[in-house]
Structures are given as structure tokens and as C-alpha cells.
């Protein structure tokens, strides 16, 4: 009768191998948990706090240049009210953007793009949104232009340092207008005033060029990419000083 013998060396080797295997599995488990938590946190931040958009047009130059990427504070307007001069991202109120056919992507690229959008690192819906500067709040009387070519809000003429005009032009709008902003709406304009299809040029749409506050996704507060364009986006309170107390 043969008796099976286990040597201590073999036992130790097997035990070490089992420990290494267990350690590897624990590491992979922890890595998966960290990844899932990071994805969840990114999703929550993107859903409730901030998210990224890219600039698809030239209408906000030179403040924002085409293909700039911006970070948007989504606590506006639900938590923090919109103010004059804010640069806001909003959904098309209807008829502002031309109809476009959705480009077909290979399945793998579409899946990656979906995941990056899910965690807020991509913005495939940027072409469905617009970015403009808030000039008129509900109840404001917005008029352009006076003898100096300035726009006025509630009777207060504005000195607008952010406006880009073609060489030789002094009027901040090619076309004159006189509007009172309805309740729950905004009057918005691009900084590139002679190349922006904003509230002035959407008067034939169902909402006559006004943007419902409910359509606002949030306020852009920083240019995040490319690095050499990095900048905080201000709302120029000195420009709009006295507007709230204006006579309309």
C-alpha cells in the first residue's frame, strides 16, 4: 500500500499561487468598483452640475471661436438666476437651426461616443443647441440703435466691449429693432453682431425670436479647450449697470 506524501515545499508553493490569484482577483474587483464609481460620479456631475459643449459656429467670436470647448454650469437657471450679460447655452426654441440629417457612424465609434457623452466628456448634441449672450431679461425694453450706434436696455445705452464689428462699422447691429421681452423669455444676441442669427433674425419663428428660459441648459463660465484659448467667461456687470433701474 502506497502512502501519498505532501512535502512542505509543495504546500507552500500552492498556497503562494492561491494567494497571488486571490490578490489579482481582488485588485481587478477594486479596479472595476473604482471605474464604476467614477462613471457614476461623472454621470451625476454631467446631469446635475456641469457639462461640456463645443462651439459649432462663428456667432460668438471673438469671445468664443468655432470648435472651442466650453464648460456649462447647469445650476442656472434653477438654482442661480440668469443675469444680463450671461453667455448661455439653450435648446433650439424652434426654427432657429436648419434641419439636418444625422450622420451615421460605425457601431464601435457610435458606442464610444455614446459612453463619452454619458460621462460628459463628449457633446454630440452641441449642434442641437445654441450659445448667445443674454441682453434682455423678462420685461426689459431693448432698443437699437441710438445716434452713437449703441444698443439700449430700459433706456440705458450700453458700452459693449465684447462686441466684434466689421472694420468701419460703429453700429452694434446692422438692423434696428425695438422689443419688449415677454415673461419667461430672453432676448439673446451673438457677440459677432454682423454674423449671428440671433433673436433679431428669428422674428418669423413661432416665438418671434425670444428664447424661453426653460430652454436654457446653463451658463458657460470657462473655455476649457484648446489650452491656448483658456479663459473665464464674464457677464460684464459694469456694462449693464443701471439697467435694472432703467425707465424702459
120, 46 Cβ separation under 8 angstroms? yes
Q: List the catalytic residue out of 122, 132, 179, 196.
A: 132
The DSSP symbol for 1 reads: -
- pLDDT tens, residue by residue, 160-207: 999 999 999 999 999 999 999 999 999 999 999 999 999 999 999 999
Q: What is the pLDDT of residue 237?
A: 95
* Strands 216-225, 231-232: pairing kind: antiparallel
- pLDDT tens, residue by residue, 16-44: 666 677 677 766 776 666 656 555 555 54
Give 28 or 51, the one with higher predicted confidence. 51
Q: What is the pLDDT of residue 98?
A: 80
Q: What does the alpha-carbon distance between residue 132 and residue 87 come to, in Å, rounded to a whole number? A: 6
- 211 forms beta bridges with 186
179 catalytic? Reply is: no
- pLDDT tens, residue by residue, 70-94: 989 888 777 789 999 999 999 999 9
- pLDDT tens, residue by residue, 37-49: 555 555 545 555 6
Q: List the catalytic residue out of 46, 52, 57, 59.
A: 59
Q: What is the pLDDT of residue 124?
A: 55
Query: Quick one: cell of 206?
Result: 413661432
Does residue 10 carry a pLDDT above 50? no
122 catalytic? Reply is: no
Query: Quick one: cell of 14?
Result: 500552492
Give 24 or 154, the one with higher predicted confidence. 154
Residue 148's pLDDT band, with cuts at 50, 70 and 90, is very high
Query: Nearest-CA neighbor of 132 among 219, 47, 245?
Result: 219
Q: Which of 9-13, 19-23, 34-38, 222-226 has the highest mean pLDDT?
A: 222-226
| Mean pLDDT value of segment 144-156 | 96
pTM, rounded to two decimals: 0.76
Does residue 56 carry a pLDDT above 90? no
Q: What does the alpha-carbon distance between residue 33 and residue 38 come to, in Å, rounded to a whole number? A: 9
Find out whether the peptide bond into 9 is cis, omega within 30 degrees of 0.
Answer: no
Q: What is the pLDDT of residue 113?
A: 58
- pLDDT tens, residue by residue, 89-147: 999 999 998 866 565 656 666 555 555 555 455 555 556 789 999 999 999 999 999 99
Q: What is the pLDDT of residue 70?
A: 92
Query: Nearest-CA neighbor of 46 among 192, 228, 217?
Result: 217
Query: Nearest-CA neighbor of 150 among 193, 112, 107, 209?
Result: 193
Amino acid at each position: 500500500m502506497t502512502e501519498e506524501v505532501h512535502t512542505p515545499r509543495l504546500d507552500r508553493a500552492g498556497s503562494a499561487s492561491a494567494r497571488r490569484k486571490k490578490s489579482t482577483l481582488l485588485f481587478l474587483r477594486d479596479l472595476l468598483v473604482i471605474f464604476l464609481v467614477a462613471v457614476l460620479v461623472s454621470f451625476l456631475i454631467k446631469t446635475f452640475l456641469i457639462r461640456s459643449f463645443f462651439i459649432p459656429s462663428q456667432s460668438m467670436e471673438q469671445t468664443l471661436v468655432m470648435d472651442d470647448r466650453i464648460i456649462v454650469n447647469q445650476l442656472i437657471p434653477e438654482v442661480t438666476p440668469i443675469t444680463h450679460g450671461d453667455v448661455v447655452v439653450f435648446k433650439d426654441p424652434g426654427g432657429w437651426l436648419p434641419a439636418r440629417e444625422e450622420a451615421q457612424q460605425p457601431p464601435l465609434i457610435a458606442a464610444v461616443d455614446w459612453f463619452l457623452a454619458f460621462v460628459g466628456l463628449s457633446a454630440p448634441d452641441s449642434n442641437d443647441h445654441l450659445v448667445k449672450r443674454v441682453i434682455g431679461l423678462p420685461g426689459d425694453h431693448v432698443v437699437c440703435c441710438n445716434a452713437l450706434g449703441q444698443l439700449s436696455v430700459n433706456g440705458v445705452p450700453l458700452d459693449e466691449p465684447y462686441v466684434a464689428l466689421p472694420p468701419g462699422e460703429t453700429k452694434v447691429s446692422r438692423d434696428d429693432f425695438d422689443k419688449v421681452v415677454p415673461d419667461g423669455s430672453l432676448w439673446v444676441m451673438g457677440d459677432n453682431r454682423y454674423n449671428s442669427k440671433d433673436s433679431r433674425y428669428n422674428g418669423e419663428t413661432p416665438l418671434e425670436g425670444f428664447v424661453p428660459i426653460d430652454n436654457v441648459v446653463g451658463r458657460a463660465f470657462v473655455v476649457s479647450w484648446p489650452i491656448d484659448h483658456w479663459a473665464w467667461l464674464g457677464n460684464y456687470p459694469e456694462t449693464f449697470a443701471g439697467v435694472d433701474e432703467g425707465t424702459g
